[in-house]
Amino acid sequence: MTVIKTTGDQVLDRPLADIGGKGLFTKEIEDALLAGEIDVAVHSMKDMQTELPDGLGIGAVLPREDVRDAFISLRHTKLADLPHGAVVGTSSLRRQAQLLHVRPDLKVVGFRGNVQTRLKKLQEGVAEATFLAVAGLKRLGLAERITEAIDLSEMLPAVAQGAIGLEIRSDDARTAALIAPLNDPSTALAVTVERAFLARLEGSCRTPIAGHATVHNGKVRFRGQVLSPDGKSCHDVAREGASQEAITLGVSAADELLSKAGPDILTRTA
């Protein structure tokens, strides 16, 4: 196994939105894949660009973990318990926008680093609370750090949150065959819908976009959301259809949001 540190891992003194868009956690790994230094790249699917570099493709998507966001606080047991004017730390514009939409009284500050770094910041009083993905905490064996798992009705997750993708070279038939049994069809289909939605919106780290799809008995259900960074503007959409309509569902949901909100919402800074 080869461990590769990406730009997103190394630059911790600035918000993700200030150092680039999608690809911050994938570029160096994809470069190694294209160079033949590795044969399989393991990614959090929410970090992947919707348009992959030429010569690369997704060979498998693993069964999805919990998609929810985790509220973490040393003093408050629930998000609703935060006092008026409390400071919340997050590096995610989506979480910032969703939080300010329901609690405009709160103050949001930039918050990056690993779990221990963020917990230390909470102990130092930099913020009253922060958010992380439930899936990541579970995979790290840190589920006990979760103060509250936020219900999807309150905070819709990032596109593909909780899903792990295996990226390979498009012409590598041997590796494709080796990892094919690892693919979870339902997760792969749900992620396809979500990524089609995101691609249509041309979302980046500078755009608060959320989306979540589920697959059951051949039916796909999808919810999507676009917000302004300050949370004052929020537009939702829902779709349901057959699994073979996956990409169409995601695209049409995005088109409806663009119609409701106008294309300027994707470039609005406040």
Domain 69-149: CATH superfamily, name plus number: Periplasmic binding protein-like II (3.40.190.10)
The pLDDT of residue 2 is 72
Closest to 130 in 3D by CA, of 163, 65, 86: 86
Average pLDDT over residues 153-180: 97
Q: How far apart are the first and last CA of the chain?
A: 43
Question: Which pTM value belongs to this model?
Answer: 0.88
In terms of phi and psi (left: phi > 0; alpha: psi -120 to 50; beta: otherwise), the region of 23 is left
Look at phi and psi of residue 231 and say left if phi exceeds 0, alpha if psi is from -120 to 50, else beta: left
In 10 A of CB 27, how many CB atoms? Answer: 17
Fold agreement between 7-65+159-266 and 69-149: no
Residues labelled catalytic: 47
With b meaning 16 or more CB within 10 Å and e meaning fewer, what string describes 160-189?
Answer: bbbbbbbbbbeebeeebebbeeebbebbbb
CATH architecture of structural domain 7-65+159-266? 2-Layer Sandwich (3.30)
Q: Could you report the per-residue pLDDT of 25-70, keeping only the tens digit for each?
A: 788 999 999 999 999 999 999 989 999 999 999 999 999 999 999 9
Contact between 131 and 149 (Cβ < 8 Å): no
User: pLDDT digit string (tens) for 76-85?
Assistant: 999 999 999 9
For the chain, domain boundaries: 7-65+159-266, 69-149
CB 97 within 8 A of CB 105: no
Q: What is the pLDDT of residues 176-225, one digit of tens each?
A: 999 999 999 999 999 999 999 999 997 655 789 999 999 999 899 999 99
How far, in Å, are 8, 72, 216 from residue 54 at the CA level? 22, 39, 33
